[in-house]
């Protein structure tokens, strides 16, 4: 049976489970991976850069960005994706049809040779850059499962990253949040610091940096502190999820910016429901809600460590009264109006 995460005794268990054999095996694996990567050219270096030292002059306003614009969801009924038997290919075809260059992809599918050839050919033909997720359930899996799944993912990433042209790896903590009593926030951060350190190092060595999403679970300041503890870890900033957990989007983006490697670029209309004691989030076309996407975009251009390489995945939640395709087109009008935006 899988051992459940014991928050109270976490520190002791973590030290016991990171055994000498575990570290030796992992070191041997990554030493071999480094040798294999020598032929792949120079790797991207995702150094930590203080935002204040990276301020641009006014010429940056007219510079064309090389950001990777993609679509991660929501897959509205109007798109027709759910009507297709092969929904993965339907998503990829939708992305290409509507002018995007990236989306997420289930990496395990590349293990099948026939599927691998199909996906690789499509990616090459259309110049796509696909992001992938680790296989691990960070708080549900025991240490042995985390180690096994981490190694499986790392091998798959090393084998297929070039075929998928993977720019970054994204993940979320899953099934926990900062307001829980057990495990408490400090214990959660300790656990994530331990389990993500080898994963972030692996992704860095392979050349596909790891970013943790603010998935309605943590403040951006929480994740910024985690990045300071975990070498090579970045933030995959969900602009709309700031409201979901009670943050102001603009200050949150400023706190996250020095670590951001990509985004779920999302907008919401929001209002308080005093009677129900709720803060209500509704769908909005990009640039037409209350998140402040234009300002966040500029914050990331000025403050992200590598703004030209940002992976900007839309998460479009269309307004209820609007056709999803109309909302998509309206969102593109906003994106194309951003300073320095470059198509394709």
**Domain regions of the chain by residue span:** 61-336
Read off the pLDDT of each residue in 99-103 and give the average, rounded to a whole number: 98
Contact 208, 201 (CB under 8 A): no
Q: Is the pLDDT of residue 137 over 60?
A: yes
What Cα–Cα distance (Å) separates residue 77 from each residue in 83, 100, 134, 305, 317? Answer: 8, 19, 28, 37, 12
Q: Please, which pLDDT band fits residue 66 given cuts at 50, 70 and 90? A: confident
Read off the pLDDT of each residue in 122-132 and give the average, rounded to a whole number: 98
CA 331 – CA 319 distance, rounded (Å) = 12
pLDDT tens digit sequence for 278-310? 999 999 999 999 999 999 999 999 999 999 999
- How much is the pLDDT for 342? 83
- How much is the pLDDT for 46? 39
Which residue from 48, 42, 44 is spatially nearest to 305, judged by alpha carbons? 48
Contact 129, 101 (CB under 8 A): yes
Other beta carbons within 10 angstroms of residue 13's beta carbon come to: 17
Instruction: Please give the structure tokens belonging to residue 96.
Output: 């290409």
Q: What is the reported pTM?
A: 0.82
Q: Is the pLDDT of residue 117 over 50?
A: yes
CA 97 – CA 5 distance, rounded (Å) = 44
- How much is the pLDDT for 60? 36
Q: Is the pLDDT of residue 37 over 80?
A: no
- How much is the pLDDT for 45? 38
pLDDT tens digit sequence for 205-217? 999 999 999 999 9
DSSP state of 132: B
Could you give the percent of the chain with pLDDT greater than 90?
Answer: 80
Could you give the percent of the chain with pLDDT greater than 70?
Answer: 81
Torsion over CA: 223, 215, 307, 254 (sign): negative
- How much is the pLDDT for 19? 44
Whether domain 61-336 has CATH 3.40.50.360: the reply is no
Long-range CB contact pairs, 24-29, < 8 A, 24+: 26/151, 26/198, 29/151, 29/154
Other beta carbons within 10 angstroms of residue 112's beta carbon come to: 11
């Amino acid at each position: 049976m899988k051992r459940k995460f014991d928050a109270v005794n976490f520190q002791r268990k973590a030290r016991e489970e990171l055994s000498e054999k575990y570290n030796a095996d992992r070191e041997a694996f990554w030493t071999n991976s480094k040798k294999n990567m020598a032929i792949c050219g120079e790797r991207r270096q995702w150094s930590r850069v203080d935002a204040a030292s990276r301020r641009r002059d006014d010429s940056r306003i007219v510079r064309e960005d090389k950001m990777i614009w993609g679509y991660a969801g929501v897959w509205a009924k109007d798109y027709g994706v759910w009507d297709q038997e092969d929904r993965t290919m339907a998503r990829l075809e939708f992305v290409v049809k509507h002018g995007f260059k990236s989306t997420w992809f289930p990496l395990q599918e590349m293990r099948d040779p026939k599927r691998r050839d199909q996906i690789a050919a499509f990616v090459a033909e259309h110049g796509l850059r696909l992001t992938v997720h680790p296989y691990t359930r960070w708080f549900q899996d025991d240490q042995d499962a985390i180690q096994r799944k981490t190694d499986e993912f790392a091998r798959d990433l090393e084998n297929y990253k070039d075929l998928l042209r993977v720019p970054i790896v994204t993940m979320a903590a899953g099934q926990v949040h900062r307001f829980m009593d057990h495990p408490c926030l400090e214990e959660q951060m300790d656990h994530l610091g331990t389990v993500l350190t080898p994963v972030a190092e692996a992704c860095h060595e392979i050349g596909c940096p790891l970013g943790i999403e603010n998935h309605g679970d943590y403040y951006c300041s929480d994740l910024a502190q985690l990045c300071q503890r975990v070498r090579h870890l970045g933030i995959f900033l969900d602009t709309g999820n700031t409201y979901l957990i009670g943050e102001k989007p603009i200050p949150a983006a400023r706190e996250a910016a020095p670590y951001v490697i990509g985004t779920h670029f999302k907008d919401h209309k929001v209002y308080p429901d005093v009677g129900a004691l709720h803060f209500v989030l509704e769908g909005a076309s990009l640039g037409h809600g209350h998140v402040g996407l234009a300002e966040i975009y500029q914050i990331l251009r000025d403050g992200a460590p590598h703004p030209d390489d940002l992976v900007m995945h839309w998460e479009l939640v269309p307004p209820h009264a609007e056709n999803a395709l109309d909302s998509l087109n309206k969102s593109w009008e906003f994106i194309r109006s951003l300073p320095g935006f470059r198509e394709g």
